[in-house]
Amino acid sequence: MNKKVKLIVNLDTHKTRHQLADVMRWTKDIGMFTLDRSREDSCIHKTDFCDTTCFNNKLEIAFKHAIEPKDIKNDEAWYNNDTKGLAKALSRKRNQTSRVRLMSRGEAFKDITDTVRVMRILRDNPDSIFWIPTRAWRDKELWDKIKDIPKLFNNVRILWSFDPSNSISDWKLSVDSGQSVMFYGDDELLSDPVTKERMFKCPKTHKKLDGHCNICKGGCFRADKRVIVHLKQH
């Protein structure tokens, strides 16, 4: 005798449940909203040093069961890219929305399709400055697409993410390109190895000024000159 089969059809599978506005979170220690992606999906430009020292390593061990489902939501929202919904959410928030970080977890620029997603976010949220530390500069072809974004949008600050594994050639490349750098991993290295210029000590990490990132004028958000921001190890 044939068994009856119950067929369940979801007619709304084309609709994504999670949007950027849903997964945006307030990060108290830097004093701004952030968007995240899963590291497994996006951190393909990482160095070995980054892979072993990332602060997310401890979080994933301690909160694995909470982070894994959150990552699924974050990635779905990122790929759906509802930038107008994000704009509405930012306009309603009581906390400051003049500065937003991409990403607090994961990499904003995994591949060339992400340049379009980021530009849509910048276009639809002109009243917020988006802070983007990235290792995507390690992919020359991808960086060639990213580097012109600040020329098109004045509400973005892109910094190359460096660590002790970066070579003198990497530092020279950042100098030649006029590219700002965010350095982490050696509390004794306080000057640019090429120019000998003193790094800007991040007040949030050196002085433990939680929330200072949303008002800082001398570090990651400077647009008038190249700056090397030094993050103290934690």
Tell me: the pLDDT tens digits for 89-143? 999 888 999 999 999 999 999 999 999 999 999 999 999 999 999 999 999 999 9
pLDDT for 192 beyond 70: yes
Other beta carbons within 10 angstroms of residue 56's beta carbon come to 14
Stronger pLDDT, 41 or 98, i.e. the higher one: 98
Which secondary-structure segment (H or E) carries 27? strand 25-27
Cβ contact 181:160 at 8 Å: yes
Q: Give the total residue count for the chain.
A: 234
The reported pLDDT for the residue numbered 60 is: 63
Q: What is the pLDDT of residues 78-104, one digit of tens each?
A: 999 999 999 999 998 889 999 999 999
- For residue 142, give Cα distances in angstroms to 38, 110, 118: 20, 9, 13
Q: What's the predicted TM-score (pTM) here?
A: 0.88
Of the pLDDT bands very low, low, confident and very high (cuts 50, 70, 90), residue 59 is low
CA 46, 47, 48, 53: dihedral to nearest 10 degrees?
A: -70
